[in-house]
Amino acid sequence: MDIHEYQAKELLAGFGVPVPRGSVAYSPDQAVYAATELGGWHWAVKAQIHAGGRGKAGGVRLCRTYQDVAAATTALLGATLVTHQTGPAGKLVNRVYVEVAEPFVREIYLGLVLDRKAERIRVIASAEGGMDVEEILQTRPGSILQIEVEPAVGLQPFQAREIAFGLGLNLKQVSQAVQTILGCYRAFRDLDATMVEINPLVVTRDDRVLALDAKMSFDDNALFRRRQVAEMRDVQEEDPREASAGQHGLNYVGLAGDIGCIINGAGLAMATMDEIKHAGGEPANFLDVGGGASPERVQAAFNLVLSDPGVKAILVNIFAGINRCDWVAQGVVAAAKSLTLPLVVRLAGTNVDEGRRIVRESGLPIITADSLEEAAAKAVAAARGHAEAAGAAHGAVQ
């Protein structure tokens, strides 16, 4: 789960990370009021979306007057911001963050990520940060400083000092950088985060170190014990299909293909997607219905897959252990009664004979398969056939 910049800064500040003063606003009047409360004569008005690259896309406006703050807020609210992370569809701006604009002399990159291969938290830093950090990290990888944190002892102050000195900071700046690095680590550890990124971490003219921007992502599976984080969820920023899947206990990720997948088990889902690719097709989604695939949950999975207009065929691949094939078959038959797309079903495991009987005796044009390879090949062929038939029908109408 991702959160907004202002929410990440609120959390990090609670762990001792210094951040500029700011306030969220949902209207131009609120933004102007926030600027008057913050004081000063320079402010930054920042679009709040779950994506990076806002600066290059015009999502950050520097303002010198209250009129500038109102105009910047008016321009951003309701606008669709397209960055390199949003995709061509972009993201709608529903709120802005008004922040005191601190003049700075240096930009630094600081990030903490979960290294799943090493099973460690990895701290990554670079003396060069800012909007072009991705290019910098690719062209000058030698500028990157990295430390793996031993989970038994956690990030130690001497390790944070090594990073700070490696970034070329002076003694006054080092102490603040160490406080920031250790604070980010504690926030990562104590809130079950999967990523903390500060880009840029800036050095001001008076030698202060501030988190000018902040991003945080969290483990969805740990939200039940992190209520303060769960309450920050903004479903408007999420794919509506993924949000709907969460409400039904389904694991869904939308993709760009045309074969909808309904599968139980993440490993089987990945294998099915690979097999579809091997057969020359493209999966439209990752969807794991989980271990308790009742007929109602299967029906919900069908509705979710069908909400994608790009789907040309559906592949149901169930290996029943905890599940029962007859339960799944009942849900498949109920959903297939109103289905106009080709449907390929492969069942295996508990009560497989009864499940296949239910599908066979339904009288519906359901395509069955005995193996994963066969199911994938039939799904790819069915999707192509449906697309060709739809194209022919469209041409005949014209």
Question: What is the torsion angle, in degrees rounded to the nearest 10, for the CA atoms of residue 101, residue 104, residue 108 and residue 111?
Answer: -20
- Residue 197 appears among annotated catalytic residues: yes
The catalytic position among 109, 185, 252, 275 is 109
Is 107 known to sit in a ligand binding site? yes
308 has binding-site annotation: no
303 is in an annotated binding site: no
**Residue 233 among known ligand-binding residues:** no
Residue 5 known to bind ligand? no
Tell me, rounded to whole angstroms, the distance of Cα 170 from its chain centroid. Answer: 37
Q: Do the Cβ atoms of 125 and 109 come closer than 8 Å?
A: yes
- The answer on whether 199 is annotated among ligand-binding residues is yes
Is 55 labeled as ligand-binding? yes
- The secondary element (H helix, E strand) that includes residue 252 is strand 251-254
Q: Say which of 197, 237, 252, 275 is annotated catalytic.
A: 197
The question of whether 66 is a catalytic residue gets the answer no
Binding site annotation covers 221? Answer: no
Q: What is the dihedral of CA 27, 31, 34, 40, to 10 degrees?
A: 180
Total Cβ atoms within 10 A of residue 133: 19
- For residue 319, give both structure tokens: 């290996």
Q: Is residue 213 a known part of a binding site? A: yes
Q: Which long-range contacts (CB under 8 A, 24 or more apart) does 332-338 make?
A: 332/298, 332/302, 332/359, 332/366, 333/358, 333/359, 333/362, 333/364, 333/366, 334/295, 334/298, 334/299, 335/298, 335/299, 335/302, 335/303, 336/362, 336/364, 336/366, 337/364
Can you name the residues that pair with 251 across neighbouring β-strands? 288
Residues 6+ apart with CB under 8 A from 8: 196, 214, 215, 216
CB 6 within 8 A of CB 47: no
Q: Rounded to whole angstroms, how far apart are CA atoms 106 and 273? A: 45
Are 122 and 147 in contact, with CB atoms under 8 Å apart? yes
Q: Which of 267, 381, 368, 274 is nearest to 325 (CA)?
A: 368
Active-site amino acid positions: 109, 197
- Which residues are annotated binding-site positions? 46, 53-55, 99, 102, 107, 199, 213, 264
- Which residues are annotated binding-site positions for ATP? 46, 53-55, 99, 102, 107
- Which residues are annotated binding-site positions for substrate? 264
